[in-house]
Structure 1
Amino acid sequence: MRSLVVHLLSYTQRFANAKPKVLYVPQKTLIAEQILEDEFKLSQRFPTLQISSLDLDYVFLEEKVFSMELPLSFKSVFAEGDLCSLTWISRLLLKLQTSRFGAIPRIRGKGSNAAKVVQLLQRMQTEVGRDFITDIPSEVDTLLVLDRSVDLVTPLMTQLTYEGLIDELYGIENCEVRFPFSLGESSGVGTNEKVVINSGDKIFAEIRDKNFSGVGSVLYQKSVWVKQNYDKRKEVHQLKELKEFMKGLPEMQEMHRLIGIHTNIATEISKITQSSEFRKRIIMEHSIIQQANEGDVLKYIEGLIFRKEKFEVVVRLLALLSLINGGVREKELGSMKENMMLVYGIPQVISTFFLLERCGLLTLQNGRDGNYAAIRKQLQTWNASLNEEHPNDIAYAYSGYASPLVRVVEMLLRNPQLWDAADSSLNLLSGEMKECTTHAEISGATKTSIVFVIGGVTASEISALRFVEDRLSSGGRPHRIIVGTTDILSGNRMIHSLLPFQP
């Protein structure tokens, strides 16, 4: 608040006739207004000052992906129990119906926070009344609101799609990345400069959802295609042929530039993914998921601690182990905690463990192994016989591991009646279920569903949802999937948001 007042004073001194405005995103709060008035007497200093809200609820990152861009949503909802985010989500989902997609006849929520959002949304729709049904044709059949607590495991796993690995290793923010290496002279981008990566990049659009093991072959095929098209200039003998060649030249040059950029990125990623340390970590993650070799996993985590590996890397694996095994045994957890305090400091470890426990990411084992074995069997979260380059299952996004959250979406799209089944595998996942319905006529032949994830969704999960969409289409049941979320999540961002201090 103080910096805001200082900025206003500085600005109005330079521009005496200015009429300043203050916009709070997404909305102004009474406490903020009270502080500005009681402590800084803002209305006396700036009689013409206007304070209002900028209702920037969401942004479309891609044609079928939108985000509220609330980077601390996971911490605020699951660690701090802040319900403001749930109100904002409900308002957004109402706004989407009244201004963009029309009324949605079926809204379902799975998970405690998702159920609250559906309940809030139902109340808002009732308060709005018949005005809620606008002249906008209804495009969406179903809105599925999912709580991140339904599947806390997936964000902790290392993403293995091309886009997922870029996010894991370098971090994607609003479709922009800073790479700490050169992308080539023809790229037009310097080291550590922002690069936009989205579907506007034709090469990225083709390889973003692929498992990284299949990216190299696609880039090679594209480079051969460009070379063959360049070589056609040798066959040009007439003016008409030259004109046709020149017409396609700009596209070939742009493709050549993009292939160079992504070849450089893929090469740098390969240096990391082919390292023994990276491979070892993936093996440990897969061992945890299969509930095998627990002794080796514990030794590996201890080794990371003694080597002073990044704090969030250690915490991420420890949380994964806890979630899969229904907690960590008291003896092992006590030893880990003691060693971590010696290496990373007492305040850091104590504060982080407290927040991890609040989120349900770290618990003491109570003698039972939890229900993950049943989840793995019923939702088929492990696929040992998978062709990563030509996949037939969503597990390709994590090289064998299938996100329960994505699996639930896939199952419900294939069989909507599963929601009401008494013996539904949905009951294995935590949190209650809530549904509300509205009478609305759907326009368009292709079914459309919005999947909204509270607490964040990973890039690889979005890739897996696109895979589900493609499979339904190729199977003669076209179904458009629009993904919405509070923010794009990764394991590092998820854990880092819970750290009280910079390690």
Structure 2
Amino acid sequence: MAIAPITGTIKRRVITDISVGIFVFLFDGSIQVLDVVSLLIKSKLLPYTKNHTISFILTNHLMKTNELIVENLGLKGDLELFEWNTSIPLIIEDDLISLNLKYGGLKELFLNDSIEPIQLLADSLLNLIIKSDYKIRITNTFLKGSFSIKFWKIFNNLYDRHLNSLDPIHKKLINDQDETLFLDQYSFFNRNIDFVCFDRGVDLISCLLTQLTYTGLTDDIIGTDMGIVNFPILNPETNELEEFKLSLGDSNDFIYPLIKNLNFSMVGSILNSKAKEIQKEFDKRNSLNDIDSMKKFVGELNLLKDNQRWVQKHTTLAEFILQSVKKGEDDDSSIMNEIDIPSYNYFNQFIELQQDILSDNLDNKKNCNLILEFMYKFEPKIQDIIKLLILTTIVKKGIREFEYDYMKSEILNLYGLKYLKLFIRLKELKLVYNKETTSFLSGPSIIEEQSFDSIQLINDFRSISNYLNLMPIVDQQDLNNPKDADFGLPGFVPIITRLIEAIYDRDFLSATTSLTTTTTTSSSSHTNHRPKTRLRKYGWDNLDLSNLNGEVKQDFLITENKKKLFDSIIPPKLSNLTNRKDVIIVSVIGGLTYSEISTIRFILQKNEVTKDKQLIILTTGVIKSDDVINCLI
């Protein structure tokens, strides 16, 4: 048997030895690779013998397309096709399920025009429903973007086929679930399930910004793989490098849930406090004076040691991150000392530049000069410069032709002509492009004629930013108890987060100057008894999404014979709802960052209506800003 991997480059050695009886080809590539290999087999192998067994194992999850290619080449019956499922959904955290696709599937979506990530996500949602014994019964859908609409169509086809394949017993189980769900309004509101799905293009800005939460900054600086952090550290005793490994979200890790969603600057105080508490418990052994107390201490000793180990692990990780963002400075302070990061280093200047661009306070020339000055001063990786160019393009609806040509020339001079192809791709995808100045002698500017597709859907950033209050002005910022969801990114609330929030709450629309009053009211509602608030759901009705391109669809999924229940329904009071099992499922086609996930958790937790809802995030991958650029290189 001859087995050879096919990864985009076809090597002659794969089919030179025709003396063997069995050929197995493993494909980890695109449809184009399958097409090329099939032609080679047809021309180089099959003419010489009919006695070989030829098999293709494919990982692209597009079996119908694969079968069609083989059939069109006249090879049907001459070889066998097998599918290898390499994208099994992984539970990264209690509320986070990821397909763990490379770059979140962005390369397939952006460059290969492939529906593979969409198909896989639809399969995963169906499997989630099946494994819940059909208790997950989606009642409301909110879809934004063409990929999301396509996803829902694929999912419905899969679900219908699955229903038709069921035996009468399982069909009755599903019907019984529906009868229970729509028994009365209390049953419905206790068990309704909202499904919210976005194209990544709805908000390319958030996934390009520097993440500021503990987990997000960990992913940005070190990287995570399926929630696992792995990097070398120096052992001071042996003076040798050792592997440091930490599984984020480990069920035994008591400290991670306390810090994962926090702005990184707040993590040191929590670790310091917990370390002191544990040490205080250890010190109690010095004052034990009876057998019962000693037995109790011994019984708790293993748990204390485990908790101390988790605090030490997260302290090591936090200090590594702190030293990484302070690179090039003489200060060797510990995370435990809660030292602020100086404002003059690379990390802070990069964040400040992102904020300046988003604020749109810079004219075109100043914007260009600041990016180039930053590049000349630090010579950062090219990914960071491209992020700034994309942000500028989105905010200013393109870059003036002179500045575009000048920046492009300077960047290629510094980083090399090998990145010329990257600029071509950025322009083709309308992520970075030049705009012409409109004058009485010229026609409309390029940007006015620019057609936006599913890659980048923000049409007018300034308008959508003002309308959704994406850069809130907050009095007396307290990152330990944030007032709004701008703590995870540089003063910016993700568009996706705001659109989820808008389904259940519209207070942010009027909070254009200060959130002090709103927050005071919210805080009191948490400390006192639950107010008698009705469970109200706004949906996206009367929400102006005209500055976001792409299809939008929302539906209330009930059968005709149950619609009368909701003709004149008054939502029940939250206090009357007990044993709540309602769920919100959030999906993003193209991946989510950890910081975006933290902000979604935050806005749902602070709202009385949604704080008791179970959150499930189902996405094609957990991504970081470098992934958006790397998938194009």
Query: If the TM-score is normalised by the length of the shorter chain, which range does it land in?
Result: 0.7 to 0.9
Displacement of 1:178? 2.2
CA distance in structure 1 between the partners assigned to 2:280 and 2:592 by the alignment: 40
The structure-2 alpha-carbon separation of the partners of 1:68 and 1:425, relative to structure 1 and needing over 3 Å to count, comes to same
Preserved contact between residue 216 and residue 593 of structure 2 (Cα < 8 Å): yes
1:383 to 456, 472, 479: 472
2:385 to 307, 314, 320: 314
Displacement of 1:479? 1.6
Q: Does 1:470 align with 2:605?
A: yes
The structure-2 alpha-carbon separation of the partners of 1:238 and 1:287, relative to structure 1 and needing over 3 Å to count, comes to same
Q: Does 1:288 align with 2:357?
A: yes
Tell me the amino acid that sits aligned with residue 117 of structure 1: F
Displacement of 1:464? 1.1
Q: Does 1:401 align with 2:492?
A: yes
Tell me the amino acid that sits aligned with residue 82 of structure 1: S
Q: Does 1:430 align with 2:559?
A: no
Displacement of 1:258? 1.8
The structure-2 alpha-carbon separation of the partners of 1:184 and 1:161, relative to structure 1 and needing over 3 Å to count, comes to farther
CA distance in structure 1 between the partners assigned to 2:233 and 2:366 by the alignment: 35
Matched ranges for 1:59-458 at <5 A: 59-72=90-103, 73-100=105-132, 102-128=136-162, 134=171, 135=173, 141-182=193-234, 191-200=242-251, 201-271=253-323, 272=325, 274=341, 276-294=345-363, 295-307=365-377, 308-348=379-419, 350-365=420-435, 366=445, 371-385=460-474, 386-414=477-505, 418-421=538-541, 423-435=542-554, 438-439=557-558, 445-458=580-593
Tell me the amino acid that sits aligned with residue 95 of structure 1: N
Preserved contact between residue 97 and residue 618 of structure 2 (Cα < 8 Å): yes
Displacement of 1:206? 1.5
The structure-2 alpha-carbon separation of the partners of 1:477 and 1:470, relative to structure 1 and needing over 3 Å to count, comes to closer
Q: RMSD between aligned alpha carbons?
A: 3.8
Preserved contact between residue 27 and residue 52 of structure 1 (Cα < 8 Å): no
Rg larger in 1 or in 2?
Answer: 2
Preserved contact between residue 106 and residue 141 of structure 1 (Cα < 8 Å): yes
CA distance in structure 2 between the partners assigned to 1:245 and 1:58 by the alignment: 42
CA distance in structure 1 between the partners assigned to 2:225 and 2:201 by the alignment: 23
Tell me the amino acid that sits aligned with residue 280 of structure 1: Q
Secondary structure at the aligned position of 1:428 is classed as: coil
With normalisation by structure 2, the TM-score equals: 0.68
Identity of aligned residues (%): 22
Structure 2: segments with no counterpart, 5+ residues: 15-19, 57-79, 179-190, 327-340, 436-444, 449-457, 507-535, 563-577
**Deviates further, 264-273 or 144-153:** 264-273
- CA shift digits 1:2-22 (9 cap, x unpaired): 73399xx99xxxxx9xx9998
With normalisation by structure 1, the TM-score equals: 0.85
**Deviates further, 397-406 or 157-166:** 397-406
Tell me the amino acid that sits aligned with residue 4 of structure 2: S
Displacement of 1:126? 4.2
Q: Residue 496 of structure 1 aligns with which residue?
A: 630
Tell me the amino acid that sits aligned with residue 143 of structure 2: G
* Bigger fraction of residues in helix: 1
Displacement of 1:110? 0.4
Tell me the amino acid that sits aligned with residue 375 of structure 1: I
Matched ranges for 1:19-98 at <5 A: 31=35, 34=38, 38=42, 44=51, 52-55=82-85, 56-72=87-103, 73-98=105-130
**Deviates further, 217-226 or 83-92:** 83-92
The structure-2 alpha-carbon separation of the partners of 1:335 and 1:24, relative to structure 1 and needing over 3 Å to count, comes to closer
**Deviates further, 351-360 or 462-471:** 351-360
The structure-2 alpha-carbon separation of the partners of 1:140 and 1:461, relative to structure 1 and needing over 3 Å to count, comes to farther
Displacement of 1:297? 3.8
Displacement of 1:115? 1.4
- CA shift digits 1:435-457 (9 cap, x unpaired): 4554489x962320110000110
Preserved contact between residue 176 and residue 197 of structure 1 (Cα < 8 Å): yes
**Deviates further, 82-91 or 283-292:** 82-91
Tell me the amino acid that sits aligned with residue 378 of structure 1: Y
Preserved contact between residue 459 and residue 548 of structure 2 (Cα < 8 Å): no
**Deviates further, 321-330 or 292-301:** 292-301
Aligned residues: 487
- CA shift digits 1:193-230 (9 cap, x unpaired): 54322243222222111001110110111011011101
The structure-2 alpha-carbon separation of the partners of 1:183 and 1:288, relative to structure 1 and needing over 3 Å to count, comes to farther
- CA shift digits 1:203-260 (9 cap, x unpaired): 2222111001110110111011011101111121111100100111111112222222
Preserved contact between residue 196 and residue 587 of structure 2 (Cα < 8 Å): yes
